[in-house]
Amino acid sequence: MAPPPSAVSPRIHRALDGLNFFLADVRDGLGPYLAIYLLAVRGPEQGWNPATIGFVITLAGLIGLAAQTPVGAFIDRSRHKRAVIIAAAVAVTLSCVVLPFITDFRAVVATQSLAAIAGTVFPPALAAITLGLVGPRAFSRRIGRNEAFNHAGNAASAALAAGTAILFGPVVVFWIMGILAVLSIGATLLIPAGAIDDDVARGLGHGAAAGGPARPSGWRALLECRPLLVFAVLMAVFHLANAAMLPSLGQLLTTVVGQNHATSLIAACIVAAQCVMVPVSYLAGLKADLWGRKPIFLAAFGILALRGLLYTLSHDPFWLLAVQLLDGFGAGIFGALFPVVVADLTRGTGRFNVSQGAIATAHALGAALSATLAGGIIVGYGYSAAFLALGAIAALGFLGYWWLMPETLDRRALAEEAAQPRPGPAAPA
């Protein structure tokens, strides 16, 4: 039976929709546009080449990686989650929009490292606000809707950047980010602070009602919960298989159609995949309480394994791009169900957000190793061998999830939560 509609007002739901849509471009900072800007605008004459750019991106990524678990612990403790979102949006935006005005290498590293740290705030903070608003009963449905709007925002901002960059050059991405940051702040302020239950937002509400811990200590969550540890390893495996597929496809297309055409094809494919993620994310969240989490996550691993195999059947560009659309299914399911499974496993502990950060660190490590693994296989054995290896890793993840990971949906706990009266939101000031 589908969960009943959330008691949260439609106005708050629309604000949360807008927040996820507008933050889609802000949360990742400049992303791939950083390398394009530094190489195209600054160039070797100012000391910027692929090596120095790669060092900046790697260093900022490592700093952001180290920040994920502490940031999750901070969000667990915070009772000002709207302010945390706003501060992070301002920090990311300012760190990026000052880039045209600074030339010193150390200043660029500092600003992009700050953007990376601030960027780690958004996934756990958005999940926490969502859980605090709708509660565990409606969480999976609402988080799927969050992801749908996030992917729609990514597709819209990418299309907007692609169209306007032709007229105004690479600097247009700074304008777009600034505008979207302002809109995301406005959407955040439309969510009443009193509507967010901070205890439920950290996964404590159900446990507190049952006499759970009053002062949870989130940093031990992975060590105390075996399924959570298994889930962390499986998420690392998922990203070990997935992260290198698109970059490897880009390299393959470059050898097939040339650099200029490959860039355009990959850009179009990213937008198309994001569009696929919109309905997939929404459907995964909608059906997670009916079908369970495990069958849907198994589908994500299975599709990822199939994708690796299908890449090897033909090097025709249209075939490769059609196969890449399957990324919309795997990534859409992952984005919708990752916080839901973590919420299932940490319900009543107050460790929801720190656990999200710790597991995000694990899957980021898997993603970091993926490119190195695929690159080494490509050099030694070719592209088909690399795709088969990545697909085989996904197949191992499928088997691992099948054998080792329990179903985390607890229908009885959700029913008990639905039966508990929840205080209505505080009146807006």
Cβ-Cβ contacts under 8 Å for 345 (sequence gap 6 or more): 225, 227, 228, 231, 355, 408
pLDDT tens-digit series, residues 306-327: 999 999 999 888 898 889 889 9
Residue 7 lies in a domain: no
Neighbours of 380 (CB within 10 A): 9
Q: CATH no. for residue 188?
A: 1.20.1250.20
Which of 200, 234, 250 represents a domain boundary (last residue)?
200
Q: Which long-range contacts (CB under 8 A, 24 or more apart) does 94-99 make?
A: 95/29, 96/29, 96/30, 96/174, 96/177, 97/174, 97/177, 97/178, 99/30, 99/37, 99/174
Residue 195 lies in a domain: yes
The residue type at 3: P
Domain that holds residue 61: 14-200
pLDDT score recorded for residue 241: 95
3-state secondary structure of 311: coil
pLDDT score recorded for residue 375: 86
Residue 369 has φ and ψ, to the nearest 5°, of: -75, -20
Residue 425 lies in a domain: no
Residue 115 lies in a domain: yes
Pair 183, 235 in one domain: no
Pair 176, 243 in one domain: no
Neighbours of 53 (CB within 10 A): 18
Query: Token pair of 204, please?
Result: 């404590």
Residue 4 lies in a domain: no
Pair 237, 193 in one domain: no
pLDDT score recorded for residue 205: 66
Pair 243, 326 in one domain: yes
426/419 Cα distance (integer angstroms)? 21
Decide if 53 contacts 94 (C-beta within 8 A): no
Decide if 244 contacts 297 (C-beta within 8 A): no
Residue 426 lies in a domain: no
Residue 5 lies in a domain: no
pLDDT score recorded for residue 209: 44
Cβ-Cβ contacts under 8 Å for 143 (sequence gap 6 or more): 127, 130, 285, 336, 339, 340
Neighbours of 259 (CB within 10 A): 11
Pair 296, 179 in one domain: no
Report the chain (429 residues): mean pLDDT per 10 consecutive residues: 56 95 82 65 65 75 88 91 94 86 83 89 94 92 94 85 73 81 94 92 63 51 80 95 86 72 67 88 93 96 96 90 90 93 88 89 87 86 93 97 94 68 45
122/138 Cα distance (integer angstroms)? 20
Pair 125, 260 in one domain: no
Query: Token pair of 180, please?
Result: 């979207």
Pair 42, 185 in one domain: yes
Residue 379 lies in a domain: yes
Counting every residue written for the chain, the total comes to 429
Pair 136, 274 in one domain: no
Which of 200, 215, 247 represents a domain boundary (last residue)?
200
Number of separate helices (H) and strands (E) present in the chain: 20, 0
pLDDT score recorded for residue 22: 93
Pair 237, 373 in one domain: yes
Pair 231, 378 in one domain: yes
Nearest Cα to 225, choosing from 78, 53, 342, 382?
342
Pair 91, 137 in one domain: yes
Decide if 405 contacts 227 (C-beta within 8 A): yes
The residue type at 24: A
pLDDT score recorded for residue 208: 46
Pair 95, 180 in one domain: yes
pLDDT score recorded for residue 238: 96
Q: How many domains does the chain have?
A: 2
pLDDT score recorded for residue 71: 92
